[in-house]
Structure 1
Amino acid sequence: MASSASRFGHARWSEVAVLAGPALLLFTGFVLLPFVMAVVFSFTNVKLLQTDRIEWTGLDNYTRMFALKAVEAPPAASMAGQPLPASRQWRALKRAAPADFEGYQYLSDLSLGGRHYLVGARDPQFLRSIANTFLFALLVVPLQTALAFAMALWVNQAFRGRVLLRTVFFSPVVTSMVVVAAIWGLILHTEAGLANQVLREIFGADAPQPDWLGDPHLAMLSIAIMSAWQGAGFQMLIFLSGLQGISIEQYEAADVMGASRWQKFIYITLPGLKRTLVFVGLSTTIMAFGLFTQVDVLTGGGPMDATSTLIFHSMRVGFREQDIAYGSAMTLFFFLFVLLLSLGQKRLMERLGR
């Protein structure tokens, strides 16, 4: 009896400890312990190099993330015949009543019910970073999914060289993102970059020369295109696996019935890839919310915070500004958000599988 109680399946407890112990030790030291520390730090005011002056602050770091203040805009003042910008109006109100606006910075302005309001936040960069993160996901998820799907359909055909083509399509995935971002930084350079040189060759010397990474309206789109190019090879393999899992008999029966290529795509390929499409879309979305390296290498969050994302802002606050407590609160918020998104993915996959 004692011998059987000391066994774990077909292995003894000592054998399990020897085999699993190193992995569990690494997991505890590099995943579990840092996570617990981040949770604890998020309720304090700890600084990176001032750990001797720690105070318990409760939910202050969490309220700081979402704290907003809206005030009705004063009568429009003007300067040189032009109305003052909303940010200037906010600063004028703050100078007039500093106690009422302490800790708040200008975020945006809006009109509601015929009235104009100025909106401030305790951390406007955090809210802009959330908006930028969602914008990046909206740009990169359909682009990367469509590109990966097209590549999978192509390399799933029977032709010579398809194995080489699969390797070429997948090679950016195994290339360091830092290297990829640095190369694309050279390609998108305003004056000497390949992209603008191609535009000059096609449209002549008067061709538009966009500032791909310096224009707030183009920077996030440029990063999304680069990210979709770099990551599409991984989703291509998932789609390829799904395509090869569709029974060939269905296509043969469709040929006998005289179905066109488009009809086979609509009524056989897409239904057969239903769960694969959902998985790729949701997994790509989760990865998109973790955008950091591309922003850190290419734009540093600029221009004008147009590419600052949730992870980038939390890293900037936690390590560059040394506010570990507030950075931990933001990363914990990100963890909970991704957890809820993953649970939604699981429920959707279960519903599709019924």
Structure 2
Amino acid sequence: MTAVQTARSTRSGPQKRPRNRDWLHGLLMSAPAVAGLVAFVGIPFGYAVVLSFYNVRLGSPLAPSFFGLEQYRRLFTDPDLSGPFLRALLNNLTFAVVVVPLQTGLALALAILLNRKLKAIGFFRSLFFMPVVFPMTLVAVIWRLILARSDQGLLNSALHAVSFGNWGAFDWLGDSATAMASVIVLSVWQGVGFQMVILLAGLQQIPGELYEAAELDRATAWQQFRHVTLPGIRGTLVFVAMLTSVLSFRVFDQVYVLIHGGGLDEDATRTVMYQAV
């Protein structure tokens, strides 16, 4: 019995040391990233939470006064504040619920389409990625010209030509039924290329032998996608969905430009970030 215990102890001893050493190495390698995350995200976020309990006025010589939960109470009970805030929060949720699955699904479809060894495939990848390079302010100005309410708007002009003059000028930005849809379309158009590149990198990490084995088993294209592609990029898909969700709650540039320069319906498209600014 003693010999067995001695043998077990000698076996477990060398195994624990490499594990502890790997854990220490991983901790040291992640320390710069963790330090940056704490310094540039954690501390500012905590400071913002603390400031929310104070009455702070930029440029005022008066010292900040402690308000406690008074500002939160007014945010949900004061009609002058709660109405616009809740409307902005609802618009943000609507934007996120539509954009996250739509943009992620479209990015995945484009990544699969461009994950091929064809001539000039690099050109098409660059073409789909190009809108990401444009600033959102410039994108909003471009789409303001496309969706202009007059007959000079590109979309209205195209529909007028296709319908042989039967289509009248429609206010895409000013109508509450299409204002949010317009913001969603231009946001997806500008950002889908970024998610596409991330998913394309994930697709290229899947070993080709898995697809060859699936073809030998006579798996259909849908079965290969379901049992080979999706499991291979599950982590990448989760990352893309989380990143898109975070960015969808930071919508500001396109809404601000279209409201102040394109006649966008403010009540139908105001967001929490826009309301705060």
TM over 0.5: yes
Partner AA of 1:177 in structure 2: M
From 127, 143, 156, the counterpart of 2:115: 156
Conserved 8 A contact 1:302-1:308? no
From 200, 205, 230, the counterpart of 1:270: 230
Other-structure match for 2:164? 204
Report the Cα distance in structure 2 between the residues aligned to 1:251 and 1:235, rounded to whole angstroms.
Answer: 23
TM-score (norm 1): 0.62
Other-structure match for 1:129? 88
Deviation (angstroms), 1:49:
4.2
- What per-residue deviation string (whole Å, max 9, x for no partner) do you get for residues 83-106 of structure 1? xxxxxxxxxxxxxxxxxxxx535x
SS at match of 2:55: coil
Conserved 8 A contact 1:46-1:54? yes
From 234, 249, 268, the counterpart of 1:306: 268
Is 1:184 the counterpart of 2:143 in the alignment? Answer: yes
- What per-residue deviation string (whole Å, max 9, x for no partner) do you get for residues 219-269 of structure 1? 111111111110111111111111111111111112222223232222221
Report the Cα distance in structure 1 between the residues aligned to 2:181 and 2:56, rounded to whole angstroms.
Answer: 36
Other-structure match for 2:133? 174
Conserved 8 A contact 2:147-2:172? yes
Of all paired residues, the percent bearing the same amino acid is: 44
From 194, 199, 219, the counterpart of 1:234: 194
Report the Cα distance in structure 2 between the residues aligned to 1:141 and 1:266, rounded to whole angstroms.
Answer: 20
Report the Cα distance in structure 1 between the residues aligned to 2:64 and 2:130, rounded to whole angstroms.
Answer: 47
Q: Name the one with the larger helix percent.
A: 2
Deviation (angstroms), 1:153:
1.0
From 81, 97, 108, the counterpart of 1:138: 97
Is 1:104 the counterpart of 2:63 in the alignment? Answer: no
The RMSD of aligned alpha carbons is 2.5
Deviation (angstroms), 1:129:
0.6
Return 5+ residue gaps in structure 2 as ranges. Answer: 1-31
Conserved 8 A contact 1:148-1:235? yes
Other-structure match for 1:213? 173
Return 5+ residue gaps in structure 1 as ranges. Answer: 1-19, 68-102, 106-121, 316-354
Conserved 8 A contact 2:110-2:196? yes
Residues paired across the two proteins, number: 240
Report the Cα distance in structure 2 between the residues aligned to 1:244 and 1:185, rounded to whole angstroms.
Answer: 37
